[in-house]
A and B are shown apart, each in its own frame.
Chain A
Amino acid sequence: MTALPLQLREGEEIPALTVRPDLGQVIRFCAASWVFPPIFYDVEAARAQGMPGTLIPGPLKLGFLYRAVEEWLGDAGFVRQVRAAHRRPDVTGSALTVRGRVVRAYEESGRQRADLELAVENEAGETSVRGYASVELY
């Protein structure tokens, strides 16, 4: 956990989170979610679909967005929403970096809230996922 943010400031960047999901992690995701498209674990099936290798599931990438925001937020609040728009496939074993920044800080219903823009960057520096999150302080 990082230090608690005392204020939600527009323009504040959250710490980057870099992960490198391997096949074992993807298979554990499939088991936890009970979803088993072969393209996630069978390289021949993935190549038959025109992919260079097995893919990192979109919901796993959404979870990395969530994780990056939650680790930044610490115990100061909770993540109300996280969204992902998937732009490019990411291949298992490749490094992904989640970046984000606060774009709006406001008070609503007596609560301190903030909206963040997020992105997942691949090893080439391309954005594979565009994301959004909304957080609320306790």
Chain B
Amino acid sequence: MVAESLLTNEVRALIGQATAPVPVRLTSRMVERTMDVYLGGRPRRFAPGEAVPGFVLVALEAEAEPLDVPQLLPDGLMISNEMTFERPLCLGEELTVQWRVGEIRERFGGQFGYSVFVPTEVLVRDVTGAVVARTSRTMMYYDASDVPGEGGER
């Protein structure tokens, strides 16, 4: 049972840290693969410049370089996630993706015992540098040997 904070200065220093933006082009292959994941079957084709389904963010965020955030506790659940769009993304767009750490928090004595919450996000910017989309998720880390687990997704 953890009785003291595991949020060391080293861990706290990660809050707000971001990796360098990675250039990425929104390709037909990304769109077709994610449409296959979410819709199944033969995906429809899009013309260059045409708006594409937002779940292509799954493929875009995979291009971002993540930071190495230490896993302080052995078990993890994804408790929430979201996708946000300022406008639809379009086929062929030149974009950048950047991975960032949010406010790391901890909780003592909750349903899962001591737990650490690590929010991260991936920012998608267009060629002007404007954020056009973002995806974020919060992971909760805990020790299942302290509290038999139930709850969200890994």
Question: Residues on A close to B: CB < 8 A?
Answer: 25, 28-29, 31-35, 37, 39-40, 49-50, 55-64, 66-67, 70, 78-90
A32:B37 contact, CB within 8 angstroms: yes
Q: How far is the CA of A85 from the CA of B33 in the complex (A)?
A: 25
> When the two chains form the complex, which single residue of A37, A63, A82, A85 contacts B154, counting CB atoms closer than 8 Å?
A37
Known: A49-B75, A59-B81, A83-B81; 17 extra A-B contacts, CB below 8 A, are A29-B37, A32-B58, A32-B62, A37-B154, A40-B154, A49-B154, A57-B154, A58-B152, A58-B153, A66-B38, A66-B54, A66-B55, A70-B54, A83-B80, A86-B151, A86-B152, A86-B153
Query: How many CB-defined contacts (below 8 Å) exist between A and B?
Result: 110
B150:A88 contact, CB within 8 angstroms: yes
* Closest A residue by C-beta to B58: A33
What does the 1/0 interface line of B48-69 toward A look like (CB < 8 Å)?
0001011100110110000000
Per the 8 Å Cβ criterion, residues 64-117 of B in contact with A are 75, 77-88
* Closest A residue by C-beta to B85: A80
A55:B38 contact, CB within 8 angstroms: no
Tell me the smallest distance from the CB of A58 to a CB of chain B, in Å. Answer: 3
Contacts of A78 in B (CB 8 A): 51, 54, 85, 87-88
Tell me the smallest distance from the CB of A64 to a CB of chain B, in Å. Answer: 7
* Closest B residue by C-beta to A70: B53
Would A63 and B152 be within 8 Å (CB), given that A33-B61, A86-B77 are in contact?
A: no
B37:A87 contact, CB within 8 angstroms: no
A86:B79 contact, CB within 8 angstroms: yes
Category for how many chain B residues contact A: 35 or more
Tell me the smallest distance from the CB of A133 to a CB of chain B, in Å. Answer: 10
> When the two chains form the complex, which single residue of B62, B80, B150 contacts A33, counting CB atoms closer than 8 Å?
B62
Q: Is the interface of B mostly helix, strand, loop or mixed?
A: mixed
A62:B83 contact, CB within 8 angstroms: yes
> When the two chains form the complex, which single residue of A25, A29, A88, A89 contacts B58, counting CB atoms closer than 8 Å?
A29
Contacts of A79 in B (CB 8 A): 54, 85
Tell me the smallest distance from the CB of A131 to a CB of chain B, in Å. Answer: 9
> When the two chains form the complex, which single residue of B33, B81, B86, B152 contacts A87, counting CB atoms closer than 8 Å?
B152
Would A28 and B36 be within 8 Å (CB), given that A49-B144, A57-B153, A59-B137 are in contact?
A: yes
Per the 8 Å Cβ criterion, residues 11-27 of B in contact with A are none
A25:B37 contact, CB within 8 angstroms: yes
A59:B58 contact, CB within 8 angstroms: yes
A32:B82 contact, CB within 8 angstroms: no
Tell me the smallest distance from the CB of B79 to a CB of chain A, in Å. Answer: 6
Tell me the smallest distance from the CB of A52 to a CB of chain B, in Å. Answer: 11
Q: How far is the CA of A90 from the CA of B153 in the complex (A)?
A: 8
B81:A84 contact, CB within 8 angstroms: yes
B129 at the A interface (CB under 8 A): no
